[in-house]
Amino acid sequence: MFLFFGYLGFLLLGMDDEQDRLAYIGHVGTGFTQTVLRDLQQRLEPLRRPNPPFASLVPREHARHAVWVDPVLVGDVAFLDARPPAAPPLLQGAA
Q: What's the rounded mean pLDDT across residues 69-94? A: 67
CA distance 93 to 31: 9
| Banded model confidence at residue 91, pLDDT cuts 50, 70, 90 | low
| Ramachandran angles phi, psi of 86, nearest 5° | -75, 145
* Percent composition of the chain: helix, strand, coil (DSSP 3-state, to 5): 20, 35, 45
Q: What residues contact 43, with CB distance under 8 A and at least 6 apart?
A: 73, 94
**pLDDT of the residue at 88:** 56
The pTM of the full predicted model, rounded to 2 decimals, is: 0.72
- Per-residue pLDDT band for 81 (boundaries 50, 70, 90) equals low
- Domains in the chain (CATH in brackets) are 2-94 (2.40.50.140)
CB atoms within 10 A of CB 81: 9
- For 21-67, the pLDDT digits (tens) are 999 988 887 777 888 888 888 888 999 999 999 999 999 988 888 89
